Structure 1
Amino acid sequence: MSHPRTHHPLVIGHRGASGYRPEHTRSAYELAFALGADAVEPDLVATRDGVLVLRHENEISGTTDVAHRTEFAGRRTTREIDGVALTGWFTEDFTWAELSTLRATERLGALRHTSASFDGRYPVIRLRDLFDIVDRAADERGRLLRLVAEFKHASYFAGIGLPLDELFAAELDAAGWGDGGERLISEAFEPTVLDELAARGVGGPKVLLVEGAGSPADLVRSGGSGAPSYDSFVTDAGLRALVGRFDGVSVGVPRLLDADGAAARGASAARGGGAPADAPLRGAALVDAAHAVGLTVFTWTLRPENKFLAARFRRGKGKSAWGDWQGAFGAVLATGVDGVFVDQPDLGVEIRAELSGG
């Protein structure tokens, strides 16, 4: 049975209003709520002294001015993070006092010149700062606003004595958020940390992030080459197996739309043509199958620039020019997803209103 299409999905400011301001800054988060976002999504990584800070990755040379700070030149190093060798500067090598002296820079500066014009203006902030931002915005707007917390490289951090679940539970308590309740959604590409959060009594929905390929890093650490793939979580059987453990899945837009921007045909729809029963689901078939067993579906990331759009939605020649974002965003929302991560939250709010007729 087809699940009714969601007419009012959550609009989640992806790292704040990251299309307009350098991501994970106070200005980006405050602007996201001002533009109508229902929630904001921080990426959480840890400092050497156990403070949770908001950065896209624990390697911070692309999102801060650390590479130009001579006092930290000696901190440049190479680490293996989830099987990938990275060279740069890592949050776990800094105390919070040191990180707080850094200034944020636009990660996509070559594409987003307006956002890059704010480089060097805003400091790095902590999770506890974001709790205050959410509380203040909710009070000002008189409505529920949510935090969608993404836990980055959790098994790596646990292995160096910085368990993100433990640190997060302590931050929740210190902020007066209790267990998080309806204000909190937790998500991760690694299922183990979501289990650990639940075991610690952290409330709110738990959502498994599903990459387009590969296997979760925590399961590779424990199971090696035999680790289940991300694809295995979005089959009919895989979705059923998540019920009672997690509350939903979050998938990249390519699992919902084909490369040409058309709605992707799911395995369920194609089985009459010989598709195997354990094939990963796509498009509306994935959303319908998840809804049928009581799971929600989020998707990432809606962006209006030509660089991120399928060819049919591109307009003009420049990669930074905005294409037919209305068509692209509308095609995603038409699959029935329950939440969308958007770099420009006002665009998500606008297309949702347009499609819902109000």
Structure 2
Amino acid sequence: MAAFWHISIIVLVLLSRESNANPAAPQHSQLDVNHRKPLQTFRPYNIAHRGSNGEIPEETTAAYLRAIEEGADFIESDILATKDGHLICFHDVTLDATTDIANHTEFADRKRTYEVERQNVTGWFVVDFTLGELKSLRVKQRYSFRDQQYNGKYQIITFDEYILIALYADRVVGIYPELKNPIFINEHVKWSDGKKFEDRFVETLLKYGYRGEYMSQDWLKQPLFIQSFAPSSLVYMSKMTNSPKIFLIDDTTVRTQDTNQSYDDITSNGYLAFIRKYVVGIGPWKDTIVPPLDNYLGPPTDLVARAHALNLQVHPYTFRNENVYLHLDFHQDPYLEYEYWLGEIGVDGLFTDFTGTLHRFQECTAPYPKNQKTAEALLQKITYMIKDSGY
């Protein structure tokens, strides 16, 4: 952990400098991108769900740095907007579950009840606070059965700060931001120029140089997947960026927040054929792919096969080490779960709270090819020689 905390201090200083300067992009990071170890693309992606939040409170600088240290291919985040229009990394539209908001008596009168996805929700809402006010809060671990020692140590971070964490990594690390609750955000947050949440989201990505279709040279330099549960937002954003997008799919009982479609509607062959014009894959809740029976695995559905037949990737969520989340077939062993999903179901990426566990499994079962390492080292050497020669 000593190396991790050393890197943390360096990155925090860099983030402070860049945030104050409000850069168009971190130029030296872009210049160094060709000198860094590239993103692996030969095996399913290790997607750090809200960072390494099985160890450190979610969506914090430390959680993302830990995930990078543990071998994540992508760091994932949920993006919301503040009262004054800043984009932040935070999962819930309310602050109650993962911050110390209840201890801040100065905000006691901010508690509200709003309709969120057709249900009334009461709490302290992100959209009722400025960025400065949110920065005064401290984040805590969501689950009581996880390590509590880091509670109160970290702030909420901005979308810009999250991006800089990836760009300043010592290897190429992708980002996987989710446009969170766009219907709710667009209802409660208004920008003076009349633009929408989706506009601000894409503008931020473009500002930092994120562009290019999946597997293009631009994409490989700065890998990105844009994700959302709202299909209309994905279609809208496709007019502004050709970066790859993932359509998230909820539980079978949950209707889409924007189009009010059922699970059966959005996983039908016809709808998958329609949405593939705008996305490169789907991100379903894993229990919709393999529905459990009395906490044992039931027969798999054909969703993965149908998606693959349309050349759509499948990135299910969320994989966790704790016994409460492991079906009994896996005998309290998360490695057995990864073996099943990667070997038998054959998905293309996994959202995990425990990046290190997945990375260790893949290094044992699908290690980095030696010949690929050699080829990449040779290519890097040639690149340096060309630059040194002045061509």
TM range (shorter): 0.7 to 0.9
The TM-score with structure 2 as length reference comes to 0.76
Q: Deviations over 1:282-335 (max 9, x none)?
A: 2xx322221111111101011010111112334xxxxxxxx2111122212121
1:261-340 correspondence to structure 2 within 5 Å: 264-266=298-300, 282=301, 285-314=302-331, 323-334=332-343, 335-340=345-350
Greater RCO structure (CA 8 Å; 6+ sep):
1
Partner deviation per Cα, 1:86-129 (whole Å, 9 max, x = no partner): 11111110111111111101111x110x2x21000001100000
2: distance between equivalents of 1:202 and 1:104? 32
In the alignment, the residues of structure 2 paired with residue 159 and residue 192 of structure 1 have an alpha-carbon distance, to the nearest angstrom, of 15
In the alignment, residue 217 of structure 1 is paired with which amino acid?
Q
Secondary structure of 1:209's counterpart equals strand
In 1: Cα distance, 2:161 partner to 2:267 partner: 35
Distance verdict in 2 for CA 1:136–1:37, change over 3 Å: same
Cα separation, partners in 2 of 1:50 and 1:262, compared to 1, 3 Å = same
Please, which of 277, 282, 286 is the counterpart of residue 253 of structure 1?
Answer: 286
Q: In the alignment, which residue of structure 1 is the partner of 2:126? A: 91
CA distance in structure 1 between the partners assigned to 2:229 and 2:128 by the alignment:
23
Instruction: With the length of structure 1 as denominator, give the TM-score of the two structures.
Output: 0.82
Q: In the alignment, residue 355 of structure 2 is paired with which amino acid?
A: P
Moved segments of 4+, more than 4 Å = 178-181, 260-264
Tell me the residue number matched to 1:156.
184
Indicate the larger mover: 159-168 or 297-306.
159-168
Please give the secondary structure, in 2, of the residue aligned with 1:299.
coil
* Residue 165 (structure 2) aligned to one of 133, 136, 147: 133
Matched residues in 2 for 1:287 and 1:184: separation? Answer: 22
CA shift for structure 1 position 174: 3.7
Match of 2:234 among 160, 179, 194: 194
Tell me which residue corresponds to 2:247. 208
1:353 offset after TM fit, Å? 2.8
Question: Match for 2:43: what amino acid?
Answer: H
> 43-52 or 151-160: which moved more?
151-160
- Alignment partners' CA distance in 1, 2:235 and 2:122: 31
From 77, 84, 89, the equivalent of 1:54 is 89
Structure 2: which 5+ runs fail to align? 1-40, 191-195, 369-391
1:235 deviates by 2.9
Q: Which residue of 1 aligns with 2:359?
A: 349
Gaps of 5+ in 1: 1-5, 221-227, 267-281, 315-322
The CA distance in 2 between the partners of 1:264 and 1:206, in whole Å, is 29
Is the partner of 1:103 in helix, strand or coil? coil
Instruction: Output the amino acid matched with 2:352.
Output: V
Match of residue 33, structure 1, among 52, 57, 68: 68
**Whole-angstrom CA distance in 1 between matches of 2:110 and 2:182:** 22
Match of 1:19 in 2: 54
Larger radius of gyration: 2
Which of 261, 266, 285 is residue 233 of structure 1 equivalent to? 266
Q: 1:102 to 1:7 in 2, by over 3 A?
A: same
| Residue of structure 1 in register with 2:257 after alignment | 217
In the TM superposition, 1:113-132 aligns within 5 A as: 114=147, 116-132=148-164
* Alignment equivalent of 1:101, drawn from 136, 148, 166: 136
Q: CA deviation at 1:341?
A: 0.4
Equivalents in 2 of 1:74, 1:179: separation in Å? 45
Q: Is the 8 A contact 1:7 1:355 kept in 2?
A: no
Instruction: Describe the SS at the equivalent of 1:105.
Output: coil
The correspondence for 1:146, drawn from 152, 174, 191, is: 174
Kindly indicate whether the alpha-carbon contact (under 8 Å) linking 1:212 and 1:231 is maintained by their aligned counterparts in 2.
no
Three-state SS of the structure 2 residue aligned to 1:300 is: coil
The aligned residue for residue 111 of structure 1 is 145
Deviation sequence 1:224-275 (CA, Å, 0-9, x none): xxxx212222233332232212211111111233415776535xxxxxxxxx
User: Which region of structure 1 is more displaced relative to structure 2, 42-51 or 346-355?
Assistant: 346-355
Whichever residue aligns with residue 338 of structure 1, its letter is D
In the alignment, the residues of structure 2 paired with residue 349 and residue 120 of structure 1 have an alpha-carbon distance, to the nearest angstrom, of 28
Distance in 2, Cα, partners of 1:107 & 1:23: 8
Q: What is the distance in 2 between the residues matched to 1:179 and 1:92?
A: 32
